[in-house]
Amino acid sequence: MRGIELIPVEGLPEVNAGDVLSELIAGAAADLRDGDVVVVTQKIVSKAEGRMVQVDPDDPVSHKVFVEQESVRVLRRRGDLMITETSHGFVCANAGIDLSNVERGWAALLPVDPDRSARRIRDGLRARAGVEVGVIVSDTFGRPWRAGVTDVAIGCAGVAAVVDLRGTTDALGRELQVTEVCVADELAAAAELVMGKSAGVPVAIVRGVDPTWLREGSIVGEVVREHGLDLFR
C-alpha cells in the first residue's frame, strides 16, 4: 500500500427505523469504487434497525435497566458506570448503549448482529451501485489501561477482521510468531478521523486498502477472544 484516502460521505438524511442504509449511502456516495471499504457508524445502523428505546430524559440512569437487559454478565461497577459483556462477546461500558447523537429521551442499543448488518449493507451496495466493497460497522469504545476512546469495528463484511502475519518475516528477516493485526479496528479508527463525534457524518470511505484484505470477515468470529484464551476474565 502506498497510502490510503479517507473520504467523508456527507449529505445523508436523518435515518429512521426501516430505512435501507445501502440505498441512502449509494445516493450520497456517488463515487464508490470496487475495493473501497465503507465504514458506517453503529448509531445509524441501530436507528435503521429499530434498536432505539425510550428513556427518562430527566433521569441520567434510566437507561441502566437496558444495560442489564443487554448484558450477559457485569464485569465491573463503579458508581453509575458498568463494564459488561454483551451477547456478542463485546466487553464495553454500559453494554454499548449510547445517549449521544440521538434525540433527547432515547437511547441506542447495539445491533443484534452487527456482522449481519454489515453484510446487508454490502449486498445492498453491490445491487444498487454495482460495486464490490467491504463494509465495517463502527462504534466508540474505551480501552483498559488507556485514557480516551477510539472507534473500533463491531461488524464487518467483505473485508478481513484480522490479518494473520504469523509465519511471515519482519523487515530484518525474522519470522513473526504471534503477530495478528486487527485491520478492521484500524480502518474504523482511521475513518473516524473524518467523521468526528459532532460533525454529523456517519459514513466514510477508506480507499486504497490492501486488496488481499478484501475477503469475507467477521468480528465475532475473528476478533472476540474466547474466554479460555482471555487472561482477564
pLDDT single digits (tens) 67-85: 999 999 999 998 888 999 9
4's grid cell: 490510503
pLDDT digits (tens, 9 = 90+) for 179-221: 889 999 999 999 999 998 777 899 999 999 999 999 999 999 9
Question: Are 157 and 135 in contact, with CB atoms under 8 Å apart?
Answer: yes
pLDDT over 80 at 113, yes or no: yes
pTM of the model: 0.94
46 and 111 in contact (C-beta within 8 Å)?
yes
Out of 116-130, 157-171, 208-222, which region has the weakest mean confidence (pLDDT)? 157-171
Sheet holding 81-86, edge to edge: 71-78, 81-86, 91-93
Report whether pLDDT(43) > 80.
Answer: yes
Name the residue among 3, 44, 13 with its Cα closest to residue 206. 3
Alpha helices, DSSP H, located in 71-143: 114-129
Let me know: does 28 contact 34? Beta carbons within 8 Å.
no
Output the pLDDT for position 205: 98
Sorting pLDDT into bands at 50, 70 and 90, what band is 1?
low
Nine-digit cell at 13?
438524511
pLDDT tens digit string along 140-161?
999 888 999 999 999 999 999 9
Strands 134-143 and 71-78: unpaired
